[in-house]
Structure 1
């Protein structure tokens, strides 16, 4: 009996020794404690500098750092929030970065994804053509103003700006007409004087100003709501991904937060990294000075204002982008799930 006990003790000590020596084979802070962590994560992002934290998280390998080398990351680039939100709602992507305007519009329809963190506040400006005669918002009466896409966060800001100045959106010259054009097309149209003004994300406004074809008449920190301190880029995840890979979703929140700190602490290095990712996503880079100017017009933060998102949603209801919902019936309490962000902030 003593012999068997001795053998058992020896076997247990051997197991403990192997466990102690096996540190190098342990998974990093990756897929966390999920029972069946995803082997592939489909991440969506825009071809726009306002998604800088996402760019840095990819370039610095922060998602890979937290998820582990065994996880394959498939990056899908989008031109607008409507396409992104549709892809998220229809299980074509798992999580990613988008504007609150189109994301809210889609959420009202599908209710199958959540906001899990902020990434960037502000970063859009109102630009008028140099020779347009427009020097203030009130001068937009009878003019046509371009926005990147219908229902976008930029359009919502424009509608709020017009409302603040007592102007209406119309289809004739009695008010302000709104048209949708991609930022690159808007730049060309501004050069050719085909449009008179645009509310557009940076760095397009700065580029128009530097080229001498436009002038910023409302800077980023005066754009509503909250004078520029409104969510422009948020991190969202599908309900399916949150249910099956909640710890991985939290690690994504960590990667986003770490990327924000990296940009703040290493701005010069960040410009080049952002440009590298921009080249990969869009096929061409951007003057580093433009990227620098754009980042100076952003408030990079993980915080999310529920009140600002609700205000923007009310504008979308008035504009007809959110249908069959009255403003007094609007309930976005489940749209924001910031519990993971709270855990990250608490160091969990």
Structure 2
């Protein structure tokens, strides 16, 4: 072999070694904090660059409020940017999830079911619970029986939201027609703050409302006609759950797990120090609405609900039936595969808790 050939071969081998070194360095530089500490997955299953998180400025969303205010989500997300997005009612949040302008949402059970069925069971997955109970039908003190609601106007936050479904189901079960006229009950969809004002003015007779709004009407003189807890076994029903876009869950499972870990820590913090939890949630509400709630309202609200990452899957078949009874859905939703319990089960195991029971929501494939 000639000296020229030897020099050419050396240059070729050197170039190959240099390319390999550059490739290795590039791969190492591309590894994120979550890659190093978890599955080591790359590409489509890497941690998200950003996660857009929906929630309501309501006490029923206290795990989200505490997690945001105490930076419990950001502590788990590492280099992933957290972008919080407040909403006033579930149907608007559903539109954001289905429109892919939101990734994960704390949301009511009714709109969660609607999002799943509206997308043919494809676009979203239930991944955790958050809050149980915390909703009541509160009315003017002179109303002491269902029959006295005839000819009255009762408010719910939005058409098809969790409380709207609950009220309409209850009215049907009590043989009270929904509509206008002296023998019917008018159900009017009104933003919660406006409901309070209209109740004070005597323009609505009450509302089926989530906390803190049921407590706010009670403070304004309303009485509890129906506590929704009384309608469910052991008083447990999912008021707030955690919903995620299916594609986001498939591509960024560690990001979803990080958010649920932050939520679990917020729930544990609320149980360990209720006084601090109340103050933190109220501060977070003030950040969004510009005004804190009266301490008495927050105190009452916290006695009406409980926090748990278990989504109470066994209640969802009945919730689906209620949507049909309420006239929100034409057919009873088929919910097989709605729940993906894997991320929350991992989080609960790390917290020393039992896995959730997926019930009829399990994927049978």
Q: Give TM-score scaled by structure 1 length.
A: 0.84
Contact 2:63 2:130 in 1 (8 A): yes
Q: Verify: 1:84 aligned to 2:93, yes or no.
A: yes
Cα distance in 1 for residues equivalent to 2:38 and 2:249: 13
Tell me: CA distance 1:232–1:262, structure 2 relative to 1, closer, same or farther (3 Å). Answer: same
Cα distance in 2 for residues equivalent to 1:174 and 1:29: 63
**SS of structure 2 residue aligned to 1:125:** strand
Contact 2:117 2:334 in 1 (8 A): no
Cα distance in 2 for residues equivalent to 1:106 and 1:285: 31
Contact 2:57 2:65 in 1 (8 A): no
Contact 2:34 2:47 in 1 (8 A): no
Tell me the residue number matched to 2:6. Answer: none
Structure 2 spans left out of the alignment, 5+ residues = 1-30, 352-365
How many residue pairs align between the two structures?
315
**SS of structure 1 residue aligned to 2:257:** helix
Contact 1:31 1:67 in 2 (8 A): no
Cα distance in 1 for residues equivalent to 2:175 and 2:324: 19
**SS of structure 2 residue aligned to 1:285:** coil
**SS of structure 1 residue aligned to 2:129:** strand
- The alignment yields a C-alpha RMSD, in angstroms, of 2.2
* Alignment map for 1:115-126 (pairs within 5 Å): 115-126=126-137
Q: Give TM-score scaled by structure 2 length.
A: 0.80
Tell me the residue number matched to 1:334. Answer: 337
Tell me the residue number matched to 1:71. Answer: 80
Cα distance in 1 for residues equivalent to 2:182 and 2:36: 57
Tell me the residue number matched to 1:266. Answer: 273
Contact 1:30 1:66 in 2 (8 A): no
Deviations 1:169-197 (CA, angstroms, capped at 9, x unpaired): 23433232211011100000000000112
Structure 1 spans left out of the alignment, 5+ residues = 1-24
Tell me the residue number matched to 2:139. Answer: 128
Cα distance in 2 for residues equivalent to 1:230 and 1:138: 26
Tell me: CA distance 1:80–1:26, structure 2 relative to 1, closer, same or farther (3 Å). Answer: closer
Tell me the residue number matched to 2:262. Answer: 255
Contact 1:117 1:235 in 2 (8 A): yes
Cα distance in 1 for residues equivalent to 2:348 and 2:109: 22
Structure with bigger gyration radius: 2
Q: CA deviation at 1:221?
A: 2.7
Cα distance in 2 for residues equivalent to 1:305 and 1:260: 16
Q: Verify: 1:163 aligned to 2:172, yes or no.
A: yes
Q: CA deviation at 1:345?
A: 2.2
